[in-house]
Chain A
Amino acid sequence: MEFFNIEKLATMARIKLNNQEKDSLKNNIETILNFVAQINTLTTKEEKKTGDLYNITREDSNVIKQDEYTEKILQNAPSVKNRFIEVKKVIITE
């Protein structure tokens, strides 16, 4: 029973899948979804979906010295230009 579109999921997940992967993952995911669907047999109070959560904030003050991590971070970056990480164009105008 297919109620999900593996290609749509792959696009949303930003992962390119080959045909073999699409098939095997589709089957696996279906099996798992059939298993987890059993939670629908439980009656729950819909209003409280999350536990006792509350926000924790801190002062917006600078706790890091300038340049403390810059070089190390840039060393991990695939493409660097001066003190910037270089990325591909985000907006493509054709």
Chain B
Amino acid sequence: MEHKFPTIDNLRKLFISGVYTPLDAYYTARKIINENTHINAYIELYDDAEEEAKQATELYKINKKNTPILLGMPFAVKNNILIKNKKATAGSEILKNYKATYDASIIKKLKEAGAIIIGSTNMDEFAMGSSGETSVFGKTKNPLDQTRVPGGSSSGSAAALALGGIVAALGTDTGGSVRQPASFCGLVGVKPTYGDASRYGLIAMGSSLDQPGIFARNVSEAALVQNLISGEDIYDGTTISKTTYQPVETKDVYRIGIPKKILNGVDDDVKNLFQETLNKLSTSKIEIVDIDLPLFEKGLAAYYIIIPAEVSSNLARYDGVRYGLSKEGNNLLEGYLQTRADGFGEEVKKRILLGVFVLSSGYYDAYYGKAEAVRNMMRNELQETWKQVDAIITPTSPIPAWKFGEKSKDPLSMYLADVFTVPVNLTGVPAISVPMGTVEREGSHLPVGIQVICPHAGEERMYDIAKRIEKYNHEKQEDIS
């Protein structure tokens, strides 16, 4: 996919030379956004970014190379990541006017690296969804085919990067919410190892599953950004250190497992593209083997018990007392009931109620308890699998981007599309989605992603394998042209 903006490397050279300045980049970004308001990628645009761009331009004049690595580069950030003094809405009515009182730890790091955040991006309400259709600010369109979804829940971040004008975008990934929209919009999307990047300052959805995620235009930029936001944080007790996990080395030759049985439900065109990519990879120091992951498939069922449970707990704080929408009632309880009735959308209510049920007395063990036990078994299954293979590869999504409304009627059909992404969050391993080509639907060429899953803290290996896939993809595109 052609990208309308220089790479980070090139942009840095341009900025240092002064031929193209951060202020120029800011104006370019805003122009692209203005020409594409119908895509609805952004919730809010930050006008004060212009002043930051001016300051960055001056700094480059004076200090040239002695400037932070991302100085002056435009970024977009999903609106469930707190940026001090900016609205953090989580795409919801209940937080429509809530102003963050502090920077998320990852935002602090981004700012220290000099990046300029030009706006907050649209998202499914409270990160619940895979299509971008549930935001209270309206749906986001896929820039590559505006009749189709960009994916979700980080719909706006994906669309914003696909439009151009920014170098990268941040999202959050709890069940695939960065990898899947990356796949639908022809981008690279990364979910780091659970604990790699701090969740401090993220509006929590499923605390044992949430991870900040990165959208980038190529694999090395994704790695660069992840490196910057990554790191142990005293404010997030679940962050890992460099020694939490055993080292995961890069290799010259990799043995990669494909869970063949799970490919049964995959769309034919996606399957063919997937097989084609595997065939090419297997000629270049990558050994492809069939593996059996019987629990992988059960991940969906476990996920749709665990996530509502955690959601029901995490969203209990939205009661109209300390912040957010507040509806008066005759008494305190009525205030809660009405605030949450008016403030939450349908999908959010559905998941909260589901969560309350699976955690309730008499059902806790059968549902939540069982789901956590299954989750544990999945972790063990993966541990065993890493003894045989170095990585696991699947399509990111069994289907390409669907049309708006196509999956709104049946509550399950959208959930089922998460089959390849949720086991990654359940087990906490890192995964990346890399574009593997396009499939044709009614004259549109829809991007499709391939997912590489590695052991815990195995990002170096993950990026190494992803680069090889990317290289093959470029070679393929050159063959076509």
Binding site for B on A (CB under 8 A): 4, 6, 9-10, 12-17, 21, 24-25, 28-29, 31-33, 35-40, 42, 44-46, 48-51, 56, 58, 69, 72-73, 75-79, 85, 87-90, 92
- Contact partner of A16 among B312, B341, B371, B415, CB < 8 A? B341
Considering the chains assembled together, what is the distance between the CA atoms of A77 and B99 in angstroms?
10
- B298 near A39 with CB under 8 A, answer yes
Given contacts A14-B340, A16-B337, A25-B349, contact A48 B376 (CB under 8 A): yes
- A56 near B237 with CB under 8 A, answer yes
Quick one: closest B residue to A55, CB to CB?
B237
B295, chain A: closest CB distance, angstroms: 8
Given contacts A14-B337, A15-B341, A39-B370, contact A51 B379 (CB under 8 A): yes
Considering the chains assembled together, what is the distance between the CA atoms of A51 and B375 in angstroms?
8
- Contact partner of B332 among A12, A49, A76, A89, CB < 8 A? A89
Quick one: closest B residue to A86, CB to CB?
B321
- A78 near B320 with CB under 8 A, answer yes
Quick one: closest A residue to B343, CB to CB?
A15
- B374 near A44 with CB under 8 A, answer yes
Indicate if B45 sits at the interface (CB-CB under 8 A): no
Considering the chains assembled together, what is the distance between the CA atoms of A73 and B99 in angstroms?
9
Interfacial chain B residues near A73, Cβ < 8 Å: 101, 322-323
Indicate if B68 sits at the interface (CB-CB under 8 A): no
Given contacts A36-B301, A36-B305, A69-B102, contact A85 B322 (CB under 8 A): yes
Considering the chains assembled together, what is the distance between the CA atoms of A76 and B349 in angstroms?
23
Most chain B CB inside 10 Å of its own CB: which residue of A14, A40, A44: A14
Partner-contacting stretch, out of B23-31, B246-254, B353-361, B461-469: B353-361
Contact residue range for chain B?
35 or more
Which B295-335 residues have C-beta < 8 A from chain A? Answer: 295, 298, 301-302, 304-305, 312, 316, 319-324, 326, 329, 331-333, 335
- A15 near B350 with CB under 8 A, answer no
- A49 near B376 with CB under 8 A, answer yes
Interfacial chain A residues near B320, Cβ < 8 Å: 78
- Contact partner of A29 among B98, B336, B350, B366, CB < 8 A? B350
Considering the chains assembled together, what is the distance between the CA atoms of A39 and B153 in angstroms?
26
- Contact partner of A38 among B301, B329, B333, B376, CB < 8 A? B301
Give 30 pairs: A residue, B residue, CB < 8 Å, sorted on A: A6-B353, A14-B319, A15-B337, A15-B341, A15-B344, A16-B338, A21-B349, A25-B350, A31-B410, A31-B411, A31-B412, A35-B301, A36-B302, A36-B371, A38-B301, A44-B370, A44-B376, A48-B376, A49-B369, A49-B376, A51-B375, A51-B376, A58-B237, A72-B85, A72-B99, A76-B322, A77-B321, A78-B323, A88-B332, A88-B335
Given contacts A14-B336, A76-B323, A89-B332, contact A28 B376 (CB under 8 A): no
Quick one: closest B residue to A64, CB to CB?
B102
Considering the chains assembled together, what is the distance between the CA atoms of A78 and B329 in angstroms?
14
Given contacts A15-B337, A15-B349, A85-B321, contact A9 B326 (CB under 8 A): no
A52, chain B: closest CB distance, angstroms: 9
Considering the chains assembled together, what is the distance between the CA atoms of A13 and B309 in angstroms?
11
- B304 near A38 with CB under 8 A, answer no
- Chain B 225-241, CB within 8 Å of chain A: the 1/0 string? 00000000010011000
Indicate if B214 sits at the interface (CB-CB under 8 A): no
Given contacts A14-B336, A29-B350, A88-B331, contact A39 B376 (CB under 8 A): no
Interfacial chain A residues near B370, Cβ < 8 Å: 39-40, 42, 44
- Contact partner of A78 among B298, B321, B353, CB < 8 A? B321
Interfacial chain B residues near A28, Cβ < 8 Å: 350, 411
- A89 near B331 with CB under 8 A, answer yes
Indicate if B367 sits at the interface (CB-CB under 8 A): yes
